[in-house]
């Protein structure tokens, strides 16, 4: 089963091409959704619909940043970047988070102005609901597709963008609720919902920053106790310690120390280290490099 999963996993270059292809598809969908909501929001005077349209525009900008980040991340390792350029995907996620903060400011400030001036101009028509429901369905479809692909390809950009798009869908639900209240005679509900949009965008930005910083701070990618149990089951390994993992979700680096019989030959120890590397990569397809340090099992731990 594990071997089949490994064989099914595309090489890094193919993985990057798949991510690019997905980002292009979602970019065009987001642009269509943004245009529909913002244009009709402007025509009807709905602050919430305009805010939701702006949010969708920033979704599109995030796709562009993601494409740039993936283009940089797909470059091969060189002398100045011996571990490759994979973290550029993480930097792209951080840039998306910054765009979200800017979007939150734009949406929130517009809503506050309307509340303070009490200038409620939203007009609700059946077309308003049609536009919002259709764009909501598109957003939900994009979210589920992108999230599934993000998990399959272990892509930080796709996972972050999927969460962003989901927040856009939730915002659309809020806008629909706001339009209902406006139709019932509560015009102040429109800018109030726009403020809810702001909170949703800020929550999404927090989630994006949290995942990106986990990579940049070298957060452990595989639980140490889990990897220890796995390695100890490999014949020839008497003990293991100082297990460390780091990297992006899609490209993980592992280094560990193992204890072996002190009478083991250099050749046997070398062969064992290669078996350990192959076994880890087979069981954890996201691992691209394993460094094994051999130690004699003499009762002392270095």
pLDDT at 17 over 90: no
pLDDT for res 132: 74
Report whether pLDDT(177) > 80.
no
pLDDT bucket at 178, cuts 50 / 70 / 90:
confident
Say which residues have a Cβ less than 8 Å from residue 25's Cβ, sequence separation at least 6: none
Residue written as tokens 């390792």?
77
pLDDT reading at 256 higher than 90: yes
pLDDT at residue 241 tops 80: yes
Q: State the Cα–Cα distance between residues 222 and 284, nearest whole angstrom.
A: 9
The percent of residues above 70 in pLDDT, for the chain, comes to 86
Q: What is the pTM of this model?
A: 0.69
pLDDT at 167 over 90: no
Tell me the pLDDT band of 7, cut-offs 50, 70 and 90. Answer: very low
Query: pLDDT value at position 232?
Result: 92
The dihedral built from the CA positions of residue 8, 276, 238 and 293, taken in this order, carries a sign that is negative
Residue 227, pLDDT score? 93
Lowest mean pLDDT among 12-16, 101-105, 219-223, 293-297: 12-16
Task: Sort strands 239-247 and 252-260 into parallel, antiparallel or unpaired.
Answer: antiparallel
Using the predicted structure, report yes or no on whether residue 5 has a pLDDT greater than 50.
no
Among 16-30, 123-137, 190-204, which stretch is predicted with the lowest mean pLDDT?
123-137
pLDDT-based confidence at 3, cuts 50/70/90?
very low
How high is the pLDDT of residue 121?
55
Distance between CA atoms of residues 194 and 288, nearest Å = 45
**pLDDT category, 230, cuts 50, 70, 90?**
very high
Q: What is the mean pLDDT of the chain?
A: 79
Judge whether residue 10 has pLDDT over 70.
no
List, for residues 37-55, the tens digit of each pLDDT value: 778 777 777 666 676 677 6
Output the CA torsion 61→65→71→75 (10° steps). Answer: 180
Least confident of 175-189, 214-228, 242-256: 175-189
Q: Is 241 helix (H, G, I), strand (E, B) or coil?
A: strand
More confident site: 2 or 186 = 186
Over residues 212-226, mean pLDDT: 87
Lowest mean per-residue pLDDT among 80-94, 115-129, 134-148: 115-129
Closest alpha carbon to 248 in 157, 163, 161: 157
Q: Quick one: DSSP state of residue 297?
A: -
């Amino acid at each position: 089963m594990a071997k089949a999963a490994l064989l099914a996993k595309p090489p890094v270059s193919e993985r990057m091409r798949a991510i690019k292809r997905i980002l292009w598809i979602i970019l065009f969908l987001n642009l269509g959704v943004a245009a529909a909501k913002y244009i009709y929001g402007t025509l009807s005077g709905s602050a919430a619909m305009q805010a939701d349209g702006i949010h969708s525009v920033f979704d599109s900008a995030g796709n562009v940043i993601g494409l740039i980040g993936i283009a940089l991340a797909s470059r091969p390792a060189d002398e100045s970047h011996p571990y490759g350029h994979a973290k550029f995907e993480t930097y792209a996620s951080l840039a998306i988070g910054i765009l979200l903060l800017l979007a939150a400011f734009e949406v929130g400030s517009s809503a506050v102005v309307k509340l303070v001036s009490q200038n409620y101009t939203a007009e609700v028509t059946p077309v308003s609901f049609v536009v919002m429901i259709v764009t909501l369905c598109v957003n939900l479809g994009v979210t589920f597709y992108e999230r599934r692909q993000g998990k399959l390809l272990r892509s930080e950009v796709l996972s972050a963008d999927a969460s962003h798009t989901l927040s856009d869908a939730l915002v659309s639900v809020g806008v629909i609720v706001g339009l209902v209240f406006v139709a019932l005679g509560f015009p102040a509900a429109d800018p109030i919902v726009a403020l809810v949009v702001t909170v949703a965008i800020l929550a999404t930005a927090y989630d994006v920053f949290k995942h990106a910083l986990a990579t940049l701070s070298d957060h452990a990618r595989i639980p140490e106790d889990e990897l220890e149990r796995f390695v100890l089951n490999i014949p020839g390994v008497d003990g293991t310690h100082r297990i460390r993992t780091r990297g992006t979700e899609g490209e993980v680096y592992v280094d560990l120390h193992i204890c072996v019989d002190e009478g083991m030959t250099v050749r046997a120890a070398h062969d064992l280290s290669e078996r350990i590397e192959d076994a880890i990569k087979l069981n954890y397809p996201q691992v691209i490099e394993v460094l094994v340090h051999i130690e004699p099992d003499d009762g002392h731990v270095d």
